[in-house]
Amino acid sequence: MYGGSVSKIHAHEESLSGLDTLVADLGTALVAQGLRMGAAESCTGGLVAHTLTNIAGSSAWFEGAVVAYDNRVKQALLGVSEQILHSYGAVSAQCVKAMAVGVARLLDVPVTVAVSGIAGPGGGSADKPVGTVWMAWHINGQVWSKVCTFCGDRSQIKAGSVRAVLEELGGVLIKKRRVIG
C-alpha cells in the first residue's frame, strides 16, 4: 500500500465540463489493458458513476459502483472495519483505502476508485474542514490515496472531487505515470 499526498484545489474553478474526453480515453485504456473498473462513493453520491456512464460504451469497462454514504454501508458492503471508522473516521486515508479494496472485492474488478469527504455546508471541523476529501485508487492490488481540500459550494466540491479522482486514475492508466503516494 502506498501513502497519501495533499492537494488544495479551488473547486469554484472546477466543473465536470471537459471530462468526456478524459473518461473516453480512460475507457479506451481500460479495454486495451483488459481491465474493468468500479467505484465506491460517499460524498460524491454517485457522481463518479454518473460521469463514467455518460460515455457511450462504458459498459465494456465499467462494472458498477456502491454509494456508501452511511458508515453502516461502508462496513456491510465494503468491509470497512469499525476500528478504522472509530479511530480515523469516514473521511480518512484508511477509510478510502479500505473502500477501494472492498469495492474491488465486491465487484471482482482490478481497478477501483473511492471518495469520502465533507461537501458541506455543515459537518466540518478544525481537523477536517468543509471541502476535505480523501480519495483512493486500487489497481491490481496497489492502493494509494491523497487528500484534497476544495473551496466552493457543495456541488462544486463534489464536481472537483470527481475531476480529481478521475484525472489521477487517467494519469496512471493512460499516461502510464508511476504511482507515487
Summarised one tens digit per residue, pLDDT across range 40-74 is 999 999 999 999 999 999 999 999 999 999 999 99
Task: Indicate the pLDDT class of residue 5, thresholds 50, 70 and 90.
Answer: low
CATH hierarchy code of domain 4-173 = 3.90.950.20
* Res. 179: pLDDT tops 60: no
- Measured CA to CA, the distance from residue 32 to residue 47 in angstroms comes to 25
Question: What was the pLDDT predicted at 38?
Answer: 99
What residue ranges do the domains of the chain occupy?
A: 4-173
Please say whether the beta carbons of 30 and 177 come within 8 A: no
* Res. 8: pLDDT tops 80: no
Summarised one tens digit per residue, pLDDT across range 103-112 is 999 999 999 9
Question: What was the pLDDT predicted at 175?
Answer: 81
Residue 108 vs residues 18, 66, 111, 123, 126: alpha-carbon distances, Å: 30, 13, 9, 33, 38
Closest C-alpha to 149, from 120, 178, 180, 108: 120
Grid cell at residue 156: 462544486
Task: Indicate the pLDDT class of residue 86, thresholds 50, 70 and 90.
Answer: very high
> In whole numbers, what is the pLDDT of the chain averaged over residues?
92
